[in-house]
Copies of this chain bind each other. A is one copy, B any other.
Amino acid sequence: MNEHDALVFLLSIAVLLGVARLLGELARALGLPLVVGEILAGVLLGATGLGRIAPAAHAFLLPGGVPASMLSGYTTIAVVLLLVVAGLEVDLHIVKRRGRSALTVALLGMVMPMLGGFVVGYLVPDSVLAHPEQRGLFAFFIGVALSISALPVIAKTLLDLGLFKTDIGLIVMSAAMINDLVGWVAFSILLGPMRGGGIDFAHLAMTVGFAVLFAAGALLLGRRLVDRVLARIEQQPDLAPGRILSLLIVVAILGASATQAIGIHAVLGGFIVGVMVGDSPRLRERTRQTIQQFVTNVFAPVFFASVALRVDFLANFDVVLCLVVFVIASVAKVVGCSVGARISGMPWRESLAVGFGLNARGAMEIILALLARDAGLVDDRVFVALVTMAIGTSLLAGPMMKYLLYGPTSRSPASGPSGALDDAATLVRTGAFVPKLVAATSARAIEELGHSLRSAIGDLVEPALIAVLEREMVAPTGLGDDVAIPHASVEGLTRPVVALGLSQEGIDFDAPDGRAARIVFLLLLPPKAYEREVRVLAGLARSVFDAKARTALLQTTSVDEAVKCLDEHSRRIAAAAQGSGPRMASLADM
């Protein structure tokens, strides 16, 4: 490395990161995923834009040789860490608890696109194939490519719609997690023979064996080991975040090296290590956020911009191909997932919403397309078609879910036909109010609030408590900003029932911001009231949405004061309601 190489490298990082972040923020302002802007940055700075308009500037900023190698070092780390962050989002506990519904949705949601993709792969003309003699492999790859999902985009969409902690949300998330696990293993296995130039079944069998062994070893044995090591590190709480960060990165890169060494792509190792470490309850939110912030804001934009640098998007934009890939991908995914959801007992409308939610492909598809292109399996036209499909499906997810769940007009979750009866003030008035919770733990608080509902629901208190506690174990209901909404559906209930409790000391409900809950709504719902659940939950969350409302509520000591306080703020906020709350944006970044 000489001085000039260092200069060019630094400049290229600064320009790629700067432009990608700017366009990313522009995309966000337009309601699009960040990744759309980041890819656009690569299109503008790469072969498509700058390379056409100012070839000399392009050649100076992005030459080959040493600076290119330095940049590829950066993007290699970036893609591994991106998959680590994606893995951290996977919560095996949720998957385990929502196992059956999630599995049905995930399986049908994978099998259909895989079939669809396989058929497309077999029917496309030879001219589309990079290697016509590998049509089988190509078809298989397209199948896998259409079947994966984009956990972060899905999580973001659910958060935006206030669905993240509802039953629909949990099923969608669990299905997406299963989907990703299976999809990445399948893809990584495929990459081996792809590179070899043909299918060598002995070699393929060995790779499959290794991949399954690696995943099983990490998730069964590694998980426990990590948990034990983290427990030891946590004994020095002030040094723990730094140590855990280093450990996570070292283990992730080692995992990536291991999968790379056995002929599977490095990203699988990163992903599996992310799942393995993220599953430990000892990985603190703070550490998770440090790595997520850094990866999202420093590594990922450069990576996604670099994805589009070397491809000419104009010359390789094949409208028919893009349309075919998009339609097949969407139809197969939506139908597969919706049927799965329907079989699990959801109404059709909600099932379709699940389908469109899982249809989002986002950043994950783009990474996969890039790797396939690097491996020589797809040519630039198919690459462009996959990238277009990834963006298109992600853009479609939010509006379609909103339409299906909240109806054709832009009814906000807080209003709606039975909205008047379901607002926070009415629910608290007809429910119960505990101005001073004695409880110090979330379980005790739930019990305390449950018993306060005895006059309202009688003998249903006990089954309700069991349901809520069980639900709380699946995924804690701390929303952050001092609010928690433990809830569950209870057989025999005909309308939503709420008990509101206040705690000056705060009770830990494992909120994403780490703050204890001082306002706790215990919410009981009639069974299978998916749409109503969504509306009531969102309504409760909105009623204490701003800091002033919370402070005021915390000072109330009687049910009348509390109801009045909720009423006023609900009204004010309903008038000003617009989209999602601020705390729902942290996942918007991928």
Q: Which residues of A contact B (CB under 8 A)?
A: 1, 3, 5-7, 9-11, 13-14, 17-18, 21, 25, 66, 69-74, 76-77, 80, 195, 236-239, 241-243, 245-247, 249-250, 253-254, 256-257, 260-261, 266, 289-291, 293-294, 296-298, 301, 582-583, 585-586, 589
Contacts and interface: CB of A to CB of B under 8 A. Distances in A.
Given A253-B10, A583-B238, A74 B72 contact: no
Best-surrounded residue of A18, A289, A296 (most CB of chain B within 10 A): A18
A73 B67 CA distance: 8
Interface of A: prevailing SS: helix
A407 to B, nearest CB: 29
A303 to B, nearest CB: 13
8 A-B pairs closest in CB distance: A70-B73, A69-B69, A238-B582, A73-B73, A14-B253, A18-B250, A246-B297, A21-B246
B69 A298 contact: no
Contacts of A242: 293, 296-297, 589
Nearest to A17: B250
A293 B241 contact: yes
A63 B260 CA distance: 18
A18 B294 contact: no
A71 B301 CA distance: 20
Given A14-B254, A17-B250, A293-B290, A260 B585 contact: no
Contacts of A70: 69-70, 72-73, 76
Given A1-B72, A17-B246, A71-B73, 6 more contacts: A3-B195, A10-B77, A10-B80, A10-B256, A10-B260, A73-B73
Contact of A250 (B21, B239, B585): B21
A375 to B, nearest CB: 9
A257 B195 contact: no
A322 B209 CA distance: 56
Contact of A245 (B13, B257, B297): B297
A412 to B, nearest CB: 20
A6 B266 contact: yes
A256 to B, nearest CB: 5
A586 B73 CA distance: 29
Contact of A298 (B10, B246, B256): B246
6 contacts: A7-B266, A10-B253, A17-B253, A66-B69, A70-B73, A243-B297
Contacts of A247: 21
Contacts of A297: 242-243, 245-246, 249
Contacts of A296: 242
Contacts of A10: 76-77, 80, 253, 256-257, 260, 266
A586 B237 CA distance: 11
Contacts of A1: 69, 72, 76
A360 B17 CA distance: 36
A590 to B, nearest CB: 11
A232 to B, nearest CB: 12
B246 A9 contact: no
A552 to B, nearest CB: 15
A76 B6 contact: yes
A30 to B, nearest CB: 15
Best-surrounded residue of A17, A246, A261, A290 (most CB of chain B within 10 A): A246
Contacts of A585: 238-239
A262 to B, nearest CB: 10
Contacts of A289: 290
A245 B1 CA distance: 28
A296 B290 CA distance: 12
A279 to B, nearest CB: 21
A440 to B, nearest CB: 13
Contacts of A80: 10
Nearest to A19: B250
A260 B6 CA distance: 8
Nearest to A24: B246
A503 B242 CA distance: 32
Best-surrounded residue of A7, A236, A247, A250 (most CB of chain B within 10 A): A250
A71 to B, nearest CB: 6
A25 B298 contact: no
Best-surrounded residue of A21, A25, A73 (most CB of chain B within 10 A): A73
A290 B294 contact: yes
Given A14-B250, A69-B70, A583-B238, A298 B245 contact: yes
A233 to B, nearest CB: 10
A77 B16 CA distance: 14
Given A14-B254, A293-B242, A294-B290, A260 B7 contact: yes
Given A1-B69, A69-B66, A70-B73, A257 B7 contact: yes
Contacts of A195: 3
A10 B246 CA distance: 15
A1 to B, nearest CB: 5
